[in-house]
Amino acid sequence: MQIEFLDALPSPAIRLQARLLPEDTLPEGLEPVLAQAAKAARFTAKSGQIFEGYVERDGQLLRLALAGIGKAEDGKPDVDARRATLEKAGAGLVAKYRTSGEEALLLDLSGSALNAGEVASVLLGARLRGWRQDGYRTTLKDDQKRSLARIAVLGAPEGSAAAWADAAAVADGVEFTRTLVTEPANVLYPESFVARCREALAGTGVEITVLDEAEMTALGMGALLGVAQGSARPPRLLAMVWNGGEKGGKPTAFVGKGVTFDSGGISLKQPGGMEDMKWDMGGAGAVAGTMLTLARRGAKANVVGICGLVENMPDGNAQRPGDVVTSLSGQTIEVINTDAEGRLVLADALTWAQRSFAPAAIVDLATLTGAIIAALAHEYAGIFANDDTLADALTAAGKASGDRLWRFPMGPVYDKMIDSPIADMKNTGSRYGGSITAAQFLARYIDKGTPWAHLDIAGTVWADKPGATWDKGATGYGVRLLDRYVRDVLEKV
């Protein structure tokens, strides 16, 4: 969606116009009939409220929307809550008019008393809510097609364009992640995932390294390769390096699980809902989107994004339950369940990240367990960590960005649940504490002294119904969280 800033009313006027209003206010000079209608409809400009009417101005019929942004808090405001409220206001307008037949919306900020950062929040909500994947839909009726493609902003305070440029970089990353997560598995697989990232990151300054199957075999990545061996799609390991911080400074590593389709392998999943497993690469998608955001806004930090990319399929060469594989770290794994494959992919990706980049800290993201959905539903992602400072910083970034996290325990009492009688470990524990034992598995691949956090995002990358700033489908979870962590921690060092 195109966003532009205007200094004066365009001529001819844009037919669809909207005003943002603080609670219990109406615009000065509003036509009496419209003001009376708004009052009759009990419009009080509460957060998320929208009232629509029609007026004639200068011989032209205009479609006018009044959108509430609630009350600004007195004293010490909750900045993050205010941001969420403003995003909701912008998103609400786009949700209402996205398929209205209107191609442009004039957003008049006169009298809204918003600062530049708040304007950017409104526009971010509008743009994120406007995203929808329609590339494969060829029979939509006219009233189902997206029409709204442009928002023209009038009366914005000084600095709004710069604030929006920064927020637009975040939108770019979220939308890229949503696109990757939404694509079907016959279109997005390890090789094409890499190609999409090369295309999106071209010219941004991000350096890309890709390992193919032969290179991973030579290194000894038996855990990752074991997952991939049943698929006709060859695996890839992708590294995206952004050096925007101190020269020679250690990077922070973001590592994503990229299972582009998960059939479960020989431990085949139930048919019902298996189509959803195209989004089992949501962690890798979030990492790729984050790298695009950091590069687009020129983040002053050193970050490397690493994606382990495989497809998990059940052919005659597929990994079997009971197989023992040797990971890059040298540790051996008894594969009890081939559907617990994401941790095998991450095991080698984490080891390679540490050997190749010696990161100051590691954050991995993975749609790892159904157990995390049983615990948290679709409202939070789970966080597991070996470092309280890192966990607290990520949790705070989650609260601030809206990509929320809830911390779970770890410890030796859970670790013993994945001990194997014939190998160093097995890839599943008992039926209880599945998310925790998965995290304990990953912890065995973290070098002593390296701060690490694991984010289980299985319940948050996809939504069965629209949310505040997303439509049904891919949410783009993780990009805003990681970007906020970079802003609040890495760029303030």
Position 114, amino acid:
L
Percentage of the chain exceeding pLDDT 70: 99
Distance, CA of 368 to CA of 333 (rounded, Å): 17
* Residue 288 pLDDT level (bands cut at 50, 70, 90): very high
Of 127, 343, 480, 484, the catalytic one is: 343
Distance, CA of 76 to CA of 82 (rounded, Å): 12
Over residues 92-119, the mean pLDDT reads 94
Residue 311 in this model has a pLDDT that exceeds 80: yes
pLDDT at 237: 98
Pick the range with the lowest mean pLDDT from 58-67, 224-233, 289-298.
58-67
| 24: number of Cβ within 10 Å | 10
Task: Check residue 14 and give left, alpha or beta (phi > 0: left; psi -120 to 50: alpha).
Answer: beta
* Residue 327 pLDDT level (bands cut at 50, 70, 90): very high
Dihedral of CA atoms 172, 178, 179, 180 in degrees, nearest 10, equals: 110
**How buried is 71 (Cβ within 10 angstroms: 0-12 exposed, 13-18 middle, 19+ buried)?**
middle
The DSSP code for 459 is T
Active site residue 343: yes
Quick: pLDDT tens for 221-253.
999 999 999 999 999 999 999 999 999 999 999
* Residue 493 pLDDT level (bands cut at 50, 70, 90): low
Residue 404 in this model has a pLDDT that exceeds 80: yes
pLDDT at 103: 96
Whose structure tokens read 């990358």?
461
| Mean pLDDT of all residues belonging to the chain | 96
Distance, CA of 114 to CA of 151 (rounded, Å): 17
Collapsing DSSP to helix, strand or coil, 4 comes out as strand
* Residue 391 pLDDT level (bands cut at 50, 70, 90): very high
Distance, CA of 259 to CA of 280 (rounded, Å): 5
Distance, CA of 71 to CA of 92 (rounded, Å): 17
Q: Which residues contact 447 (CB under 8 A, 6 or more apart)?
A: 354
Percentage of the chain exceeding pLDDT 90: 92
Pick the range with the lowest mean pLDDT from 98-112, 255-269, 286-300.
98-112
Find residue 259's DSSP bridge partners.
310
Residue 408 in this model has a pLDDT that exceeds 90: yes
* Residue 71 pLDDT level (bands cut at 50, 70, 90): confident
Q: Is the peptide bond before 12 cis (omega within 30 degrees of 0)?
A: yes
| 207: number of Cβ within 10 Å | 12
* Residue 12 pLDDT level (bands cut at 50, 70, 90): confident
* Residue 47 pLDDT level (bands cut at 50, 70, 90): confident
* Residue 110 pLDDT level (bands cut at 50, 70, 90): confident
Residue 298 in this model has a pLDDT that exceeds 90: yes
Distance, CA of 439 to CA of 434 (rounded, Å): 9
Evaluate whether 400 touches 80 at the Cβ level (below 8 Å): yes
pLDDT at 76: 59
Distance, CA of 229 to CA of 235 (rounded, Å): 9
Of 15, 269, 300, 407, the catalytic one is: 269
Over residues 286-304, the mean pLDDT reads 98
294 compared with 60, residue with greater pLDDT: 294
CA distances (Å), 324 to each of 133, 216, 259, 319, in order?
41, 18, 20, 9
Residue 75 in this model has a pLDDT that exceeds 60: no
Residue 436 in this model has a pLDDT that exceeds 80: yes
pTM of the model: 0.96
Residue 123 in this model has a pLDDT that exceeds 60: yes
Over residues 458-468, the mean pLDDT reads 96
What is the token pair recorded at 330? 């040298």
* Residue 58 pLDDT level (bands cut at 50, 70, 90): confident
Active site residue 196: no
Over residues 307-325, the mean pLDDT reads 98
What angle (nearest 5°) sits at the alpha carbon of residue 284, between those of residues 355 and 489?
70
76 compared with 149, residue with greater pLDDT: 149
Nearest to 126 by CA among 147, 107, 102: 107
* Residue 74 pLDDT level (bands cut at 50, 70, 90): low
The beta-strand segments (E) located in 78-211 are: 104-108, 150-154, 207-211
DSSP 230-286: T-SSPPEEEEEEEE-SSTTPPPEEEEEEEEEEE--TTSPPPSTTGGGGGGGGHHHHH
> What domains can be seen in the chain, in order of their start residue?
2-155 (3.40.220.10), 169-492 (3.40.630.10)
Over residues 128-150, the mean pLDDT reads 93
CA distances (Å), 160 to each of 113, 114, 119, in order?
13, 10, 6
Distance, CA of 181 to CA of 197 (rounded, Å): 13
**How buried is 420 (Cβ within 10 angstroms: 0-12 exposed, 13-18 middle, 19+ buried)?**
middle
